[in-house]
Structure 1
Amino acid sequence: MSTDPTTTIGIGIGIVGLGKIARDEHIPAIAGEAAFQLRALASRSTTLPDVECYETLEAMLAEAADVDAVALCTPPQVRYALAARALTAGKHVLLEKPPGMTLSEVVDLRDMAAGSGCSLFATWHSRFAAGVEPARQWLAERRVRTVRILWKEDVRVWHPGQEWIWEPGGLGVFDPGINALSILTRIMPHAVFLTEAELEVPENRQAPIAANLAFTDRRGADIRAEFDWRQEGPQLWTITVETEEGTLELAEGGSRLAIDGEAVPLSAAGEYPGIYRRFADLVRSGTSDVDVSPQRHVADAFMMGRRIAVAPFTE
């Protein structure tokens, strides 16, 4: 019988950073996944009852011997150094999206994980929305003609007071937009590549508040995406795919699926429970899952996008 503690008493996990995403998604998902036990938290300003709390990851790694893995829920600007420390200490690492500030950082972490024997998981939570895998399967044998993505939300509602998202590496409107790109790169039968980009950047910010993108694939599909953080009223997270054999629509971020106007029954399982089930499989098999394709498209947009100055943004 195996004596590996991750198979006999659960995978001990520590969370680094206790912001909104950790509280709303990671902690409930860990609590509902029998494979994991939340054993530690690293945060300079927040604590949790009944959980060992440390001010830094370094203190957690030094003192919490029962932590096998860490989930990094910090802004991406600081994630590389934290992940490198955890991997060096022999811990499995889960990265919130986007996995790092640059592609080079993420690739280096992937190589570091391969050399350490630890698992590294670059998560894309929208890929775990209930409609995404059924959509991928339906599109697999069909020729895509057009894709239309509308990803429009109110930044004041979803990111109030979060200044880091407007700084270099914070991505601006691509912070939610990368969710759409993670779905697109999962469901399309062939790889896509950017052909045009227009980025609207507030005069007082470093990152865009809106973006219009055009992509294609090897078969010449017409793919267009509109991202906007100025949306008031109903929030829009939809992807519509027209094929030669019908039309598919993912709505509400991928949680709803319709084909030719008919709703497809879906599982009620949430995104983050799916993430932690996948992470448990990776840890137990000693493998990693590091797909940088959504972030690569964002990098392409910043590299080739035409920038348009727009009105200053204030909270």
Structure 2
Amino acid sequence: MSAIKLGIVGVGKIATDQHLPAIAANGDFQLLASASRNATVPGLPGFTSIDEMLAQQPDIEAVALCMPPQHRYQAARAALLAGKHVFMEKPPGATLSEVEDLDQLAQSRGVTLFASWHSRHAPAVQVIKAFLAKHAPRQVHVIWKEDVRHWHPGQEWIWEAGGLGVFDPGINALSIVTEILPTAMFLKSGVLEFPANRDAPIAADLRFTDANGLDVHAEFDWRQTGKQSWDIIITTEAGVLRMADGGAKLWLDDVAQELGDEGEYPSLYRHFAALVQNGKSDVDLSPLRHVADAFMLGKRKAVEDFHS
């Protein structure tokens, strides 16, 4: 099949660091243009809105949406109405309802909608999933702590309502947990820490369970300096699994497990190409649903002001 002609919307840090290299390395895609308020892709036509890009570049068959989630619905809707396939950076939207509406629209138009979760494509994830299918988890401890000033310098949108705050990285952990567990989990309790001058949390402590009483404890914090923590520790009757570095490393009872070196975003774009070629969509909202549950059930705790 010929390469899928692609446009990218939102040329910010995640697009520059991850999407553009993955697209360039994948022969299933040909990047034709970009749409962004403040940046362009060197050597390609650049537009300030998705509507302008689609009008001026009618050959585009698919779009990758990399703007903040608060602004994603209208862009996705415009692309779907124009008959384009849509790849959405995580989280797929600001609310569950708007993404469900987009899913229905994609189905009615016969095009692909892909709500991507890049952390599910880390090398350790499918290895852990296969292990837990044979050896039931007894306890899960998620420790996801990082320095927001390092990873999101000057990005004020993440502190606005809908920007998710610490759940911007925390949802990556939730995307892994919902992929690897053999049964569905649900929230029992939580505490969300909000800086007094912000509309999104800087930390969260969550307790989940499942129908069998599994204990899942998740700690998210954006104030960690020094070594960053993206770890999941799982106790089973066959030993203790410890995943580190967001899924790049894995140990079973302190014995390092051999993993591939697959990159997350190259894997995402291979999956997107396969979805388009096979006329399918992939819209799993379980990670975002758990975040919504945390905002609904979690207790709010005020903490000191935060300044970027």
The TM-score, its normalising length taken from structure 2, stands at 0.99
Percent identity over the alignment is 58
Residue 70 of structure 1 deviates from its aligned partner by 0.2
Give the counterpart of 2:114 among 103, 121, 126: 121
Whether the 8 Å CA contact 2:33–2:41 is kept in 1: the answer is: no
Match of 1:303 in 2: 296
Q: Report the 3-state secondary structure (helix = DSSP H, G, I; strand = E; otherwise coil) of the residue aligned with 1:212.
A: strand
How far, CA to CA, are the matches of 1:32 and 1:256 in structure 2? 24
Does 2:151 correspond to 1:166?
A: no
Deviation at 1:269, TM superposition (A): 1.4
Structure 1 position 63 matched with structure 2 position 51:
no
Map of 1:230-269 to 2, 5 A cutoff? 230-269=223-262
Aligned to 1:39: 32
Matches within 5 A, 1:13-92: 13-92=6-85
Secondary structure (helix, strand or coil) at the match of 1:205 reads coil
C-alpha displacement of 1:50:
1.8
Distance 1:232 1:65 in 2: 46
Q: 2:238 & 2:195 partners in 1: Cα distance?
A: 42
1:66-118 deviation line (CA, Å, top 9, x unaligned): 21100000000010010000000000000000000000001010110001010
* Superimposed CA distance per residue, residues 102-141 of structure 1 (whole angstroms, 9 cap, x where no aligned partner): 0000101011000101000000000000110111011112
1:112 lines up with 2:105 in the alignment: yes
**Where does residue 195 of structure 2 map in the other structure?**
202
1:222 to 211, 215, 222: 215
Displacement of 1:222 in angstroms is 0.9
Q: Deviation digits for residues 40-64 of structure 1, max 9, x if unmatched?
A: 1001221222212111100111111
Task: Find runs of 4+ consecutive structure 1 residues off by over 4 angstroms.
Answer: none
1:178 Cα shift? Answer: 0.2
Q: Which moved more, 1:237-246 or 1:49-58?
A: 49-58
Aligned residue type for 2:98: E
- Whole-angstrom CA distance in 1 between matches of 2:134 and 2:209: 18
Residues 265-305 of structure 1: per-residue CA shift (max 9 Å, x gap): 11111000000000000000111000000000000000010
Segments of 5+ residues of structure 2 without an aligned counterpart are: none
- Quote the residue 1:272 is aligned against: 265
TM-score normalised by the chain length of structure 1: 0.97
CA RMSD of aligned residues (A): 0.7
Task: Read off the aligned partner of 2:192 and give its amino acid letter.
Answer: L
Letter in 2 for 1:57: I
* Long gaps (5+) in structure 1: 1-6
SS in 2 for 1:216: strand
